[in-house]
A and B are shown apart, each in its own frame.
Chain A
Amino acid sequence: MTYFSKQKKSALLGLSSLFVLAACNSGSDIPVPPPAPPPPPPPSMVGFEVTVSNLTNAQPLSPVAVIAHQEGYAVFQIGSPATAGLELLAEGGDNTDLLAEADADSNAIASASGSDPIGPGNSETIAIEFLEADLSNARLSTSTMLVNTNDAITGINQLSLSGMSVGDVITQRGVAYDAGTEANTERAAHIPGPAGGGEGFNATRDDRADQVTMHIGVISQDDGLLTSDLTDQHRFDNPVIQVRVERTQ
Chain B
Amino acid sequence: MNIFLKQSRRKPIFTIFMIILLCLSLTLSLIGFSAYTSMQKQFNDINGDYTTIAVLQESIPEGTGNAFGENFLELAKREFEAFEKAQKAPMLKKEEARVYLTAHVPGSVSLSSSRIDPSELNQPYFDDDMYSLCVFAVECKSVEETVFLDMISYDAKLEVIEVISLSSAYDWYPEITEVSLSSMDYNADGSIPIKAGSKYLIYGSYGEYYTMPIIESFRDVESTDGKKMYSFGEGYMQLRGEFGTRTIEPAAALSDIGLYNGHRISGEKDGLTYYYSLEDQLPWIAEYTGTVDEFLESEEGKVWKEEIIPLCRKNQEGALVALTDNLDSIYPFSVGSSFILEGRKFNEKEYSGEKNVCLISSDYAMINGFEVGDKITLDLYSSGILWLESGARDNSAVYTGEQGGFMIRVPIRPKNSINLCKEFEIVGIYSTPRFSFGPTSFDADHIIIPKKSVPNAEQYLGTYYQDFTSFILENGTIDEFEQYMSEQGYPDMFIYNDQGFSEMEETLLALEANAKRMMTLGMSVFALITALFLFLNFRRMMPVIRGVRLLGKNAGRTRNEVFAVLFMEETISVIIGTVLAAVLYNSVTSAMLSETIALDFKNLLSAAAALLGILGILSFMLSGILSNVKLMKRK
Say whether A associates with B: no
